[in-house]
Homo-oligomer: A and B are copies of this chain.
Amino acid sequence: MSTRVTTLKELAASLDLSITTVSRALAGHEQIALKTRERVAQAARQAGYVPNTAARTLVSGRSGFVGLVLPVRGPNLVDSFLGEFVTGLGEGLVSHGADLILATAALGHSELSVLRHVVESGRADGVVVTRIAEVDERLAYLRERGFPFVAHGRLLDGDFAYNWLDTDGAHAFGEAFDMLYDLGHRHFGLVTISEPMTFRHLRQDGLAAAIGRRGDPSVRLDVATAPRFDRGARIQAINRMLQGPERPTAIIALFDELALTVMEEAARAGLSVPRDLSVIGFDNVVASAYAPPGLTTFDASIRQCAREIADMLLTVIAERPAAPLTRLIRPTLVSRASHGPAPQTRS
C-alpha cells in the first residue's frame, strides 16, 4: 500500500545515468543518443514514471493548466450552460495535454479576487472568462497584467482588442424578428433580465436594428424586465405583459429559461401557443425540446464553442500572437412548434 512515487533521481540511478541525461532523453532531445533515449523510455515506462507537476511547473514556469473561475450562480438554478461549457473545454484541452482548473468564488470573495489568485499563484498558464459584464473588472485586470486569456463574450464599447469568441446573438434576434414579422406579427414582447451583461444588450440591439430596417411604424415592442435569479419577479413581469389590455402576439425571450416561463404562464392564462402567442427562445436547452409544444429557439452549440475557446487559448499561450484572436459564431435556428402566424382576430 502507498507505493512511493518514482522520481527522476531513482530512475537515473537505476539506469546508471545522470538526472540530466534522463530528463533530456524523456524530453526527446536530439542530442541524446537514440539508443539511450530508447533505453530510458523503456525503463520509465516500466517503472511507471510520471514527472512531478509541481517541480516541472516551478522551473519551467508552465503549469499545463487552464483556469476557469466559476461564475457566481443563483441558489436554485442549475443551468446546463456550465455542464456543456466545461465538457467542451475539457475536450478541447485534452488533445494538447492540458487540464482544467475550476476555481469557485466563496461567498465573501469576489470573482475577481479568485481570478487574481489563480493567475498570480502560477496555477494556470491562461484562463477563460465567461459571461462578460458591461463593465468587467476581470477583463481589465487580465489585460493590464498581460495574462493569456480568452473571453466568451464581448464588451460593448467596440474595444475588441483582446481574444474573444462570441455567439452572434444580435443576428439571431434579427432573424427571429424577421421571421415573426413575415408571419404577420406586429406587436412584439421582449422578456429580458436586469443584470448588466453584455449579451443582453447585443441581442436587444440586434432586435432593435431589425425593427429599424423594416421601417414599419406599426411595429410595437413591449419589454418585461426582471432580475436573473428572482423567479417571482420574473413571473410577475411576464404576467403583466400577458394580461395587459393589448398583449403582444409574439414574445422573444433573452434565453430559453425565460421563454419556458413565458410558455408556462401563457398556459396558465389559457393562451394557446402558438395559436394565440408565438414564443422564441435562445440557447436550445434540453428542456426546450420537451416543453410543449416544443420551443423554437437558437442553438449556439456551447460545447463546440468551448472547444474552440480551448484551442484559441492554447494558441495564445504558446504563441502569444500580436493581433487578438476573435471569432463570431452564428447560432442556428431550431424550428419547433412554439411559433406560427399572427392571430387574425385583432388587427
Contacts and interface: CB of A to CB of B under 8 A. Distances in A.
B120 A5 contact: yes
Contact of A117 (B50, B82, B121): B50
B82 A123 contact: no
A112 B70 CA distance: 27
Contact of A87 (B2, B54, B73, B120): B73
Interface stretch (A18-26, A217-225, A289-297): A289-297
A308 interface: no
A145 interface: yes
B82 A86 contact: yes
Contacts of A78: 80, 83-84, 87, 286, 303
A260 B116 CA distance: 43
25 contacts: A1-B144, A1-B146, A5-B120, A50-B116, A51-B121, A52-B58, A53-B123, A70-B87, A73-B87, A78-B286, A79-B83, A82-B86, A83-B84, A90-B102, A90-B104, A93-B104, A100-B103, A101-B101, A286-B286, A286-B287, A287-B287, A287-B289, A290-B290, A290-B292, A292-B292
Interface of A: 1-3, 5-6, 48, 50-55, 57-58, 63, 65, 70, 73, 78-84, 86-87, 90-91, 93-95, 99-106, 116-118, 120-123, 144-147, 260, 285-287, 289-292, 303
A1 B145 contact: yes
Given A50-B120, A122-B53, A286 B80 contact: yes
Interface centre among A1, A2, A102, A145 (most CB of B within 10 A): A102
